Amino acid sequence: MTQSASRQPATRATAPAAASASGDGLDIRLVSGALGAEVRGIDLNEITDAQFDRIHALMLEHLVLFFPDQQNLTPKAHVALGRRFGDVKVHPNLPRLEDYPEVTLIEPDKGGKADEWHIDVSFSPHPPIAAILHLITCPPSGGDTMWSNQYLAYETLSPAFQEMLEGLTAVHVLKVPPVVEMSAEHPVVRVHPVTGRRSLYVTRMWTSHIPQLSRHESDAVLQHLFEHSEQPRFTCRHRWDPHTVALWDNRATQHVAINDYQEYRRGQRVVVSGDLPTSDTPRKPDYEQIGDERYYPRRINARVGY
């Protein structure tokens, strides 16, 4: 094994169980064949510029990182870590810490469980580029979280289907009247501003329709993309211990919290904004809709806003 565990586009260079100790004292263990790495040997409460650069590079490579044993991480340092990646915003409608409003409370009893595949806050015109979740209390078993690699989801579509998706956009909506209503339109295939790789950017929880297609076409295409992008072969699954921190690239992943427990579970999350979802292909024209065929599926309205 060389300097660091590495993940190549579409294939794996290293065995998922392999661990590597890099020169900077970090111990990195890949958690699945598709994405995810556990990183030990760092205290996130206080990181140097060099450590930040390393974490950033690891996030781009593995898409989701898990840092166990982060008991020292204060809300202040949590927000400061987020700020190293970009702008840290207050969530539009989830509960938050009183003294640190940028820290969202992830307490499933108070606001629903994030138990459908989603991209965080993709209904916003400025969706987060990254999220940092500090799990503080977890059930003795259950309550795992899964992530899915949306580069792989895109790369495994047939070239003809990939070509059809170019220039399409999708509408993402949060609709919980009368509290919050927000929607945004983003490319179906986005180009990552740092890696340059294409990834799928639609998600079951928030994506309602593709305005360039008829309603029936849009439903069929989205249904296929949801099912395709959620396949186990693109995922990793994390079993939490208290005080593990997960950091993910929200531009190229989706995730889902598994709703299989009854006990109290609590986390604190900071999301980071930055670049906007973009494509390098011109947007195709809208389909001329007939009557009121454009609609927002009922499932969208059931959610609170992860």
Ligand X SMILES: O=C(O)CCC(=O)C(=O)O
When asked if residue 249 is in the footprint of ligand X (CB under 6 A), the reply is no
118 has catalytic annotation: yes
Query: Which of Fe ion, ligand X, none is residue 257 near (CB under 5 to 8 Å by kind)?
Result: ligand X
54 has catalytic annotation: no
- The DSSP code sequence of the chain is --SS--B-SSSBSS-TT-EEE-TTS-EEEE-SSSS-EEEES--TTS--HHHHHHHHHHHHHHSEEEE---TT--HHHHHHHHHHHSEE---SSS-B-SS-TTSEEE-TTTT----S-B-TTTTSSS--SEEEEEEEE--SS---EEEEEHHHHHHTS-HHHHHHHTT-EEEEEEEETTTEEEEEEEESEEE-TTT--EEE---TTTEEE-TTS-HHHHHHHHHHHHHHHT-GGGEEEE---TTEEEEEETTSEEEEE-----S--EEEEEEEE-SPP--SSPPPPPP---TT-----GGGGG----
- Nearer residue to ligand X within complex by CB, 145 or 150: 145
Considering 7, 54, 62, 118, which one is annotated as catalytic? 118
Per rule CB under 6 A, count of chain residues that contact ligand X: 11
When asked if residue 89 is in the footprint of ligand X (CB under 6 A), the reply is no
Among 120, 149, 211, 254, binds Fe ion (CB under 5 A): 120
- In this chain, which residue has its C-beta nearest to ligand X? 114
Residues 95-124 that bind ligand X (CB under 6 A): 106, 114, 120
CB of 306 to Fe ion, least distance (A): 4
Site string for Fe ion, 204-223 (x = CB under 5 A): --------------------
When asked if residue 65 is in the footprint of ligand X (CB under 6 A), the reply is no
- Nearer residue to ligand X within complex by CB, 187 or 267: 267
Query: Which of ligand X, Fe ion, none is residue 205 near (CB under 5 to 8 Å by kind)?
Result: none
When asked if residue 133 is in the footprint of ligand X (CB under 6 A), the reply is yes
Chain residues binding ligand X by CB under 6 A are: 106, 114, 120, 131, 133, 145, 255, 257, 267, 269, 306
Q: Which are the catalytic amino acids? A: 118, 120, 255, 269
Chain residues binding Fe ion by CB under 5 A are: 114, 120, 306
